[in-house]
Amino acid sequence: MPNLLRGRLNSGVGHFFCSPLMFPYESNYVCHFFRLWGNLEAASRVAPKYSLLGNMQNDFDAKFGDVCGDANNRFFLIEFKRSRKGFSEEVSKPGGKIHRIALYEHLRLDATCRQIARQGHFGCYPSSSGSLVFEPYAHCPAAIKTKIQIVTEVLLKPAFASINELDHQAWECGFPKFYEQITDYDSTISDNFPGFFENGLGITSEHLKTYVSCMYDHLQTAVDPSGVAILGAFNRQANTFVAFNDTIENIFLRLQSAFNSSKEGATSLPGGPIGVQPGEA
Ligand SMILES: [Zn+2]
């Protein structure tokens, strides 16, 4: 039996579409994510009601990451990489993205932004078997260690050295768990952590705005020919500076209108036979 088929028969719904094949581009994983998401929506026989923006063809990519999502006003951002080590490369000098290095250094220091990031900004990469793995973005650069390694490290640490949460992996999960964490909970706000949802992953629109501002604060500045400083991000692959001639308010409004038009366009139920029925997997 070919490897691909065997993988499919032996695994649960989370690995339903996953093959041991590794894709060559990040965008392949983005498309894979959309396919898995659509599959679970179809399986639950609900009309597509959430708004997912793939940023391959808009200018949000360099600002926010590859995918922005809005599930009943529960917002999230996802950055895709071909491997987990891509995340540490992105925030390491030299060779990393300058604005991402700045954001990462900031998240190490700012507990509030770090908490927002942990709930709303995710990294996604393939496991060795090719299924998607999710982790909080800011924790992705941390080395994966065993509990014993972490305890030993903490015990051996000099008393004056502080421990940073971002030096450790927070959690990781596969696609079904991620989908459940985003879509299964109501929008009750936590008493203990005001501004955050009581359950599940994702952040409020207020926190999204805070976080987008935070990301915007860590973009680079270049000076245009007339001497005006402009914010943007340097794209190393294309060797170009992508300028954002926009205010944070405008960017946020455009993001919201993109979410809304995506919702308006997705009102019909998926038709035809559906492979996986609820409860069957
Ligand atoms: Zn911040």
C-beta of residue 203 within 8 angstroms of C-beta of residue 120:
yes
C-beta of residue 33 within 8 angstroms of C-beta of residue 132:
yes
3-state DSSP assignment of residue 132: strand
**What confidence score (pLDDT) does residue 137 get?**
97
**What confidence score (pLDDT) does residue 8 get?**
35
In this predicted model, what pLDDT tens digit does every residue of 122-151 receive, in sequence order? 999 999 998 999 999 999 999 888 888 888
**What confidence score (pLDDT) does residue 111 get?**
94
C-beta of residue 195 within 8 angstroms of C-beta of residue 119:
no
202 phi-psi bin (left φ>0, alpha ψ -120 to 50, beta other): left
Below-50 pLDDT ranges, the chain = 1-20, 274, 280-281
**Alpha carbon of 111 to ligand 1 centroid (Å):** 9
**Alpha carbon of 120 to ligand 1 centroid (Å):** 13
Going by C-alpha positions, the residue among 92, 60, 74 that lies closest to residue 179 is 74
From CA 218, how far away is CA 96, in angstroms rounded? 14
**What confidence score (pLDDT) does residue 79 get?**
94
Q: Report the DSSP pairing between strands 67-71 and 132-136.
A: unpaired
Quickly tell me which residue has 């952590």 as its tokens. Answer: 193
Cα 98 to its chain centre, rounded Å, is 19
From residue 43, how far is each of 46, 50, 163, 169, 280 by CA, in Å?
8, 15, 44, 32, 9
From residue 97, how far is each of 30, 84, 130, 200 by CA, in Å?
20, 16, 26, 30
**Alpha carbon of 110 to ligand 1 centroid (Å):** 6
**Alpha carbon of 106 to ligand 1 centroid (Å):** 7
Going by C-alpha positions, the residue among 270, 278, 255 that lies closest to residue 51 is 255
**Alpha carbon of 115 to ligand 1 centroid (Å):** 10
**Alpha carbon of 45 to ligand 1 centroid (Å):** 39
**Alpha carbon of 159 to ligand 1 centroid (Å):** 28
**Alpha carbon of 104 to ligand 1 centroid (Å):** 10
**Alpha carbon of 62 to ligand 1 centroid (Å):** 17
**What confidence score (pLDDT) does residue 61 get?**
56
3-state DSSP assignment of residue 270: coil
In a 13 Å sphere around the CA of 263, the CA atoms on its Cβ side amount to 14
**What confidence score (pLDDT) does residue 60 get?**
64
**Alpha carbon of 169 to ligand 1 centroid (Å):** 20
**Alpha carbon of 185 to ligand 1 centroid (Å):** 26
**What confidence score (pLDDT) does residue 279 get?**
52
**Alpha carbon of 117 to ligand 1 centroid (Å):** 9
**Alpha carbon of 217 to ligand 1 centroid (Å):** 8
Backbone angles phi, psi at 221, to 5 degrees: -120, 135
State the chain's mean pLDDT as an integer: 81
C-beta of residue 110 within 8 angstroms of C-beta of residue 100:
no
**Alpha carbon of 41 to ligand 1 centroid (Å):** 34
**What string of DSSP letters covers 10-49?**
HS-GGGTT--S---SSHHHHHHHHHHHHHHHHHHTT----
From CA 98, how far away is CA 104, in angstroms rounded? 10
**Alpha carbon of 128 to ligand 1 centroid (Å):** 33
pTM of the model: 0.79
**Alpha carbon of 119 to ligand 1 centroid (Å):** 14
**Alpha carbon of 112 to ligand 1 centroid (Å):** 7
